[in-house]
Chains A and B, each alone.
Chain A
Amino acid sequence: MEYWKIDKELIEHVCKIARLALSNEEKEKFVKELEDILSAFRKIDEVDTSDTRPSFHPLEFKNVMREDEPKVWKWQPLANARHKEKNYFKGPRIV
């Protein structure tokens, strides 16, 4: 596994996963740009984090939960939807 490197193939793979249609020019341009960025980022390998815990938030948050009380929102969920049918949202087909 090679880290801190990116090539066109990897970009194309990531774009499939992330559902991003890029033009060929964009892909070409991104190879160099993203390479440079990753080269700069690899600096973090210098930090010894062998016994460091990860920080998911900058301060500690814990045990935030809510009671099981139902509440109904009174609103128009479909107001922003262009594609809809009866009271359904309409979306693209699967296959």
Chain B
Amino acid sequence: MRAVIGLEIHVHMLSKSKLFCSCPTDYEGKEPNTLVCPICLGFPGSKPKVNKKVIENAILAARALNCKINPEIFFSRKSYFYPDMAKNYQISQYEIPLAENGYLEISSKKIRIKRIHIEEDPAKLIHVGGDITTSQYVLIDYNRAGIPLLEIVTEPDFSNTKEVREFLFKLSSILAHLEIFNPSKEASLRVDANISLDGGARTEIKNITGFANVQKALDYEIVRQANLIRLGQKVERETRHFDEERRVTVSLRKKEFEEDYGYIFDPDLTKIEITQKWIKSISMPELPDARVKRLIKKYGIPAEQANIIVYTDKALADFFENCAKIYADRKKLARWIVTDLLKCLNWNKITIRESKVKPKDFVQLLKMIDRKVISEALAKEIIKEYVPTGKSPAKIVKERKLVMIKDRRILEKIVKEILEKNKKAVADYRAGKEKALEFLVGQVLMKMEKRVDPKIVREIIKSLI
């Protein structure tokens, strides 16, 4: 079954103030309706004024996605009614968007970008006493109303969900590198996906939050449509909603009429001329592909690791480079970041941005290995405590008394004990089974809580057998 998928991606753009008013944008954890003003609340008499920085950020995104930027842009009023709409129209862009006809390359193909434009976010709704279909009324928090959104529309160039995932991953990284988007906030990326199978009817899945859910939603939808086709049933052209908990797409009850957006040019705003001079004056941060190349060249780390460091999160790449400033063995650094650090972060379900991990402490850990204060194996244990707590590795070592035991006499004593207890393994080793040696080493390490260098243990065992 051949799938045809197109995406409409809404990205929360980072800025200090909202798109059409000066309200602050750091609404996380704030009391509802405290970051609002008559403009974003849609009070009569208020008038919008566009945020220059947002346009500049959007220009950067357009350039990074190889789009043609329109020399004159306008804002439009997109009319529709909903309780989260402060004015019951959204200031967006219709006829003349910011940019068009770009592309983003993924491993298998070029995904064409149809258009990019700027628009304002609506308010946040809370459905009281149920969910969207059962609540008795809604509570509205306008803190989010007016936050700038970048809408990126692709052509239906995706053939499978793996491509979608790769695309979103790469897009997210580019936007993070442009510093116009924070990828660790899941709510800052919402996707509407259009999908059809084998030239059949197209369904739209609206408002999928975060790109992990996008793949899940599309995977489910492909299976759903495929089953219908197999049973000889018709796939309806409709709008669906992705239920995150049950991981299924659900049909949204059809309205008896379709909204007619009735676009007009917003007469409260002026046209904006985007000159070449202006575009050139906006400094373009380093894009991820370029950064990968530079890391490989500058630090001599393997391409695969450089890719992971850069594309997982711009903040991770920043972390790497900050560590690299104070630590010379960059290859070791990269290896530890890409394996143990990432593993710990994922295990604790936090991103590098949210964690308390700092270059100074992380480098301290690596230096302790270098100086053989602790073993690599022990370091792998210490990092498990360091990452979630932020407690410095030196402190952890001190508190848990994890310093390596270097006194050979003690080591030999313990080895002898282990050899005594594991006569069969000793015999196996003498008989030529190498695995038995590793087993014995493992036993020693366990007994010694890994506070010993495995190489030395192996050497001692061999000498005693």
Contact = CB atoms under 8 A, between A and B. Distances in A.
Direct contact of A and B (CB under 8 A): yes
Interface of A: 13, 16-17, 19, 56-57, 61-73, 75, 77-78, 85-95
Interface in B121-145: 125-128, 132-142
14 contacts: A19-B81, A56-B265, A63-B270, A65-B55, A68-B15, A70-B23, A70-B25, A71-B22, A87-B31, A89-B33, A90-B140, A93-B137, A94-B127, A95-B133
Contacts of A87: 31-34
Contacts of B139: 85-86, 88-91
Interface string B267-280: 10111110000000
4 smallest CB-CB distances across A and B, nearest first, come from A68-B53, A88-B139, A65-B52, A70-B24
Nearest to B134: A95
Interface string B217-245: 00000000000000000000000000000
B32 A86 contact: yes
Contact of A66 (B50, B271, B273): B50
B22 A69 contact: yes
Nearest to A71: B22
Interface stretch (B256-264, B354-362, B378-386, B393-401): B256-264
Contacts of A66: 22, 49-52
Given A67-B53, A91-B140, A17 B257 contact: yes
B372 interface: no
Given A94-B132, A95-B132, 14 more contacts: A57-B270, A64-B270, A65-B50, A66-B52, A68-B52, A71-B17, A87-B31, A87-B33, A90-B140, A91-B137, A91-B140, A93-B136, A93-B137, A94-B133
Interface string B5-40: 000000000011100001111000001111111100
B285 interface: no
Contacts of A64: 49-50, 269-270
Most buried by B among A62, A64, A89: A89
Given A70-B16, A77-B41, A88 B33 contact: yes
B257 A92 contact: no
A89 B142 contact: yes
Nearest to A85: B139
B52 A62 contact: no
A68 B135 contact: no
Contacts of A72: 23-24, 35
Contacts of A17: 79, 257, 259-260, 262
B83 interface: yes
A64 B75 CA distance: 12
Contacts of A71: 17, 22-23
Contacts of B259: 17
B185 interface: no
B295 to A, nearest CB: 31
Contacts of A56: 74, 265, 267, 271
A44 to B, nearest CB: 17
B441 interface: no
B55 A91 contact: no
A31 to B, nearest CB: 19
B253 interface: yes
Nearest to B272: A63
Interface in B46-101: 49-55, 74, 79, 81, 83
Contacts of A16: 256-257
